[in-house]
Amino acid sequence: MNDASKPAHVVVLGNEKGGTGKSTIAMHMAVAFANAGGRVGVIDLDVRQKSVSRYIENRLATAARGGAALPAPTVYDLPGDGIEALAETAARAIREQDLLIVDTPGAATELSRAGHVFADTLVTPLNDSFIDLDVLGRVTAEPFQVVRPSHYAELVWETRKERARAGRQPLRWFVLRNRLSHVDARNKRAMEEAISALAQRVGFVPVAGLGERVIYRELFLHGLTLLDIRTPGVEIDLSVSHIAARQELRALFNAVGFTDIIPGA
C-alpha cells in the first residue's frame, strides 16, 4: 500500500445513468481506504453535480469543527475542461497516490469516456430495475436472452480495446445492484437471471449489491460514511441496519479486490 514508486490502482465508477449510487460508492471506497491509512485521490468528472467533491468538502468542514479525526481523500481539480487537462491530472494523481477513484456523470460526456480509459477496475452500480439493465444490454423477457449490448457496454468494449493497444492490463468490470429492497423478491430473482445472462455476453462480473438504507442519504451533509461509525467523536447511532450496511459494503470491497482495507467492520 505504501510503495511510493508503484502507480496508483485506478477505480472508475461509471454508468450512463444518474442516481444509481456511483458517487455514494465512490465516497465510501475512498474513505475506507483513507481511514485505513492509504493514500487516496479523487477525480470528479461530474462537473455539473460535483457530488463527491461536495461530499469531501463537507467532510473537511466536519473535521475542522473538531471532535473527530476524519482522514480525507485528496481531490484533484482539473486545470481546464479538456481531455488534456484530465490526462495531466490523472497522471499526477497516479504518481502520487496508492488508489485513485474517478467518479463520472450519468451521461456519456467526452470527459467521462476519457476517464474510463484510466480504469484498472470499473464499478457499475445499477438500480434493481430492468430499465437500468437496459443501459447495458437489450434483454428479452422469459427466458432472458441478450439481444445485443447497449451503448455503455460498447463504451466499455472500446475502452478495453484502447487499453490492449496501449499494452495495459485488462480492465476488470464489476456490476452491482444498489438500493435493493427487502420486499420485491420476484423482481430480484428475475434481475439476477438477466444479469448473469448479460454478464457472460458483455464481459463483467456481477457482485453482491447494497440494500436500500436511509442512512446513506443522511451522511452526506456531514461528509461522513458508514466507515466512520466507530471513529471516536463521530455521532451516528449504531443500529442493526448500519451494521448490515457495513457488511454489504465490505462484501462489495472484497469482491472488487479491496481485501483487508476496512478496519474493524
Ligand X SMILES: Nc1ncnc2c1ncn2[C@@H]1O[C@H](COP(=O)(O)OP(=O)(O)O)[C@@H](O)[C@H]1O
- Tell me if 23 contacts Mg ion by CB under 5 A: yes
Spatial separation of the C-alpha atoms in residues 40 and 38, rounded to whole Å: 6
Spatial separation of the C-alpha atoms in residues 165 and 116, rounded to whole Å: 15
Q: Phi and psi dihedrals of 117, rounded to 5?
A: -65, -20
Which residue lies nearer to Mg ion by CB, 20 or 150? 20
- Write down the least CB distance from residue 114 to ligand X, Å: 18
Residue 210 binds which entry of Mg ion, ligand X, none, CB below 5-8 Å type-dependent: ligand X
Residue 104 binds which entry of ligand X, Mg ion, none, CB below 5-8 Å type-dependent: none
Instruction: Please answer whether residues 106 and 20 qualify as being in contact, where contact means their C-beta atoms are separated by less than 8 angstroms.
Output: yes
Kindly tell me the burial class for residue 159, based on how many C-beta atoms sit within 10 Å of its own C-beta (0-12, 13-18, 19 or more).
Answer: buried
Spatial separation of the C-alpha atoms in residues 207 and 24, rounded to whole Å: 17
- Tell me if 24 contacts Mg ion by CB under 5 A: no
Amino acid present at 155: L
- Write down the least CB distance from residue 106 to ligand X, Å: 5
Give the one residue of 15, 35, 51, 127 binding Mg ion; rule: CB under 5 A.
Answer: 51
- Tell me if 22 contacts Mg ion by CB under 5 A: yes
Which residue lies nearer to Mg ion by CB, 14 or 149? 14
Which residue lies nearer to ligand X by CB, 96 or 212? 212
Beta bridge partners of 75: 42
Which residue lies nearer to ligand X by CB, 35 or 124? 124
Binding site for ligand X (CB under 6 A): 18-24, 51, 106, 178-179, 210, 212-213, 216-217
Which residue lies nearer to ligand X by CB, 106 or 149? 106
Q: Which segments of 8-136 are extended strands (E)?
A: 9-13, 40-44, 74-75, 99-103, 121-127
Using Cβ positions, the residue closest to Mg ion within the complex turns out to be 23
Instruction: Please answer whether residues 126 and 178 qualify as being in contact, where contact means their C-beta atoms are separated by less than 8 angstroms.
Output: yes
Per CB under 5 A, the segment of 47-55, 125-133, 138-146, 178-186 that binds Mg ion is 47-55
By CB under 5 A, name the binding residues for Mg ion: 22-23, 51
